[in-house]
Amino acid sequence: MIIYKCIISEDEMFSDIFPIKETAIFYEVEGKVVTTTSGDIDDSLIGGNASTEEQAETTDVSVTSGVNIVLYSKLQETTYDKKSYLAHIKAYLKRCVTPCLAVLSFYIDWHTLKGCSGAPSQAFPFLFSIKAKMQETNPERVEQFMLDANNEVKKLLQGGFKDLQFFIGESLNTDGMVAILDYREDNVTPFMRFFKDGVRPEKC
């Protein structure tokens, strides 16, 4: 099995037990909505016999429903709105000091985004964290990554943003990967987007 860890937080984000599709910038990982039960232990498996014991002991049972990708990697949901996102990204772009970083400022159509009210305030800091890592390990990839990332994030902003959910790793490191949960056209099948350049595969 291969697990994919965030290059910033080292949290496990997903694994290849799920169907994975690659796009220019994302791994799209398809999941299912499931219900899991923990603590539900059959007495016979632990040597008990409720019919003969004077007092049967009970075990706490916890039932959890959710997307299996989220449950498997213990991802933690977080929330964003466009107002805080736009305030963040405008300030962030002012700190762009290299041509690659300035790509975002040039390509984003702020007139299209004007007046919108909701988006992930931490997605772009993560992209630039990836960019910094990439400059060390794969510098020739930087410019194309920034272009692709800009285009994909712009699509998210202009699409059904209000229907998206956002998740970070188990450690709650907000500097790390922000995964995006969406649903296919059938409104039943969940899938998650993970930035390809933001995870590292490991065999286990």
* Separation of alpha carbons 97 and 100, rounded Å: 8
What whole-number percentage of the chain has pLDDT above 90? 30
pLDDT of residue 94: 39
- Under CATH, what is the fold of the domain 2-33+73-203? 2.170.150
Burial of 39 (0-12, 13-18, 19+ CB in 10 A): exposed
Task: Pull the structure tokens for residue 70.
Answer: 């989220």
Give the single-character DSSP code of 148: H
pTM value is: 0.68
Q: How many CA atoms lie within 13 A of 36 on its CB side?
A: 13
Provide mean pLDDT across the span 159-183. Answer: 85
Nearest to 22 by CA among 6, 1, 4, 34: 4
Q: Which residue has the higher pLDDT, 123 or 38?
A: 38
Nearest to 162 by CA among 146, 182, 142, 144: 182
Per-residue model confidence as pLDDT tens digits over 66-121: 999 999 999 999 887 766 655 544 443 333 323 334 334 434 444 444 444 444 33
Q: Where are the domains of the chain?
A: 2-33+73-203
